[in-house]
Amino acid sequence: MRLMMLGAGLAAAITLAGLLAMTGTLRALISPQLSAEVHFADYPLPKGFGLEPQVVADFLVAELTTRATDDIALRLAMGPEGQKKVIEVAIPRLVNSVVVRDMIANIEPLANVLSVGDFRMSARVVVTSNDLVRKDVALTMPGVVLVEAETGIAAVETTSTGLTAVNLGEMAADETRVLTVWLGQAAVDAGAGIGKQLLLGDAGGTVGRVWLYGRGSWQGADLQAMPAARWMVGGALMVVFVASILVMLLAVLARLTLGRKPRRFSPA
């Protein structure tokens, strides 16, 4: 009897854990004080999308050369020789792919627009600090191109190993930071192993937990973030299956028992 009660209690615990995992409650119960949810999504772009610095340089050289050739005021001011030097020497030296590339990098709004050509994936990241003020909170992610924060700061940095990281700076107690992150080819190349490169921590040495979700949203998506929860759900389903089989067997046995007519013995 005691063994049956122990088995029934274990089955109830597995069933409850499975239900909590399916409803998203289990993750909230076992989540540490510093955690991050990472929800990945595809970011498809048309083929050939982007802008090469060399293309911009070639266009500018052709445009300026045409203007310098047709500009009468320039020819009168500099003379034929001066105009020729501008066209053949000055314009090619001042406008080339190196100069254009530096110009794009130094004009931040333009750099952000043109960086769209490098986007391959996007992610919605929710970082939560539940207990105390933390300094230099950072989340490493491969191939981060651009990041935006709904509140607070978020900057892209490169670690000593070449891995990009999102630096959130200081986070207050019980603060939640929501980020939108765009990632490049390195995130795609990481494939299924990208979860091993998602590390969360702060300057105090605290190691947080990263809950990784795949593309799309669906009921029970926490099963992606918690592989162990899959076994809990499987165990809950197994308990239900075994219980249903036992109920069916008991019903059949009860029917057979009731269907038997007692034999009457007559005296000899």
**pLDDT tens digits for 38-54?**
988 888 777 766 667 77
**Element housing 230 (H / E):** helix 227-259
Bridge partners of 27, per DSSP, are: none
- The stretch 58-81 carries a mean pLDDT of 82
- Count of structural domains, the chain: 3
Residue 267 lies in a domain: no
Q: Does 37 share its domain with 158?
A: yes
Cβ atoms 184, 207 nearer than 8 A:
no
Range among 42-46, 67-71, 146-150, 227-231 with highest mean pLDDT value: 146-150
Domain that includes residue 230, residue range: 1-24+222-252
pTM (whole model) above 0.95 = no
177 part of a folded domain = yes
pLDDT value of position 135: 93
175 and 201 both lie in a single domain: yes
How far is it between the farthest Cα atoms of the chain?
A: 147
Identify the pLDDT of residue 253: 74
Rounded Cα gap, residues 76 and 80, in angstroms: 8
Together in a domain, 149 and 38: yes
Can you tell me the mean pLDDT for 26-47? 76
pLDDT digits (tens, 9 = 90+) for 77-102: 888 888 888 888 888 887 777 777 78
Q: Which of 2-16, 55-69, 76-90, 196-210 has the lowest mean pLDDT?
A: 2-16
Q: Which of 16-20, 61-65, 222-226 has the highest mean pLDDT?
A: 61-65
Q: Is residue 63 part of a domain?
A: yes
Give the chain's count of helices (H) and strands (E). Answer: 10, 9
Residue 260 belongs to a domain: no
End-to-end CA distance of the chain: give it in Å, rounded.
45
Q: What's the chain's average pLDDT?
A: 77
Q: Are residues 107 and 131 in the same domain?
A: no
Residue 162: which CATH number?
2.60.40.1170
In this structure, the answer to whether residues 39 and 125 fall within a common structural domain is yes
pLDDT in tens, 143-198: 999 899 988 889 999 988 888 999 999 999 999 999 999 999 999 898 888 888 99
Kindly report which listed range (135-139, 147-151, 243-247) carries the lowest average pLDDT score. 243-247
Residue 13 is predicted with a pLDDT of 65
* CA pair distance 113, 222, nearest whole angstrom: 34
Q: What is the pLDDT of residue 218?
A: 43
Nearest to 10 by CA among 257, 236, 241: 236
Note whether 38 and 128 are same-domain residues: yes
Highest mean predicted confidence (pLDDT) among 157-161, 233-237, 253-257: 157-161
The two three-digit tokens of residue 112, written as one number: 């952000």
70 vs 182, which has greater pLDDT?
Answer: 182
Q: Are residues 109 and 190 in the same domain?
A: no
pLDDT at position 183, please? 93
Residue 229: is its pLDDT beyond 60?
no
pLDDT of residue 132: 87
DSSP 204: T
What length does the chain have? 268
Q: 139 in a domain, yes or no?
A: yes
- Same domain, residue pair 13 and 37: no
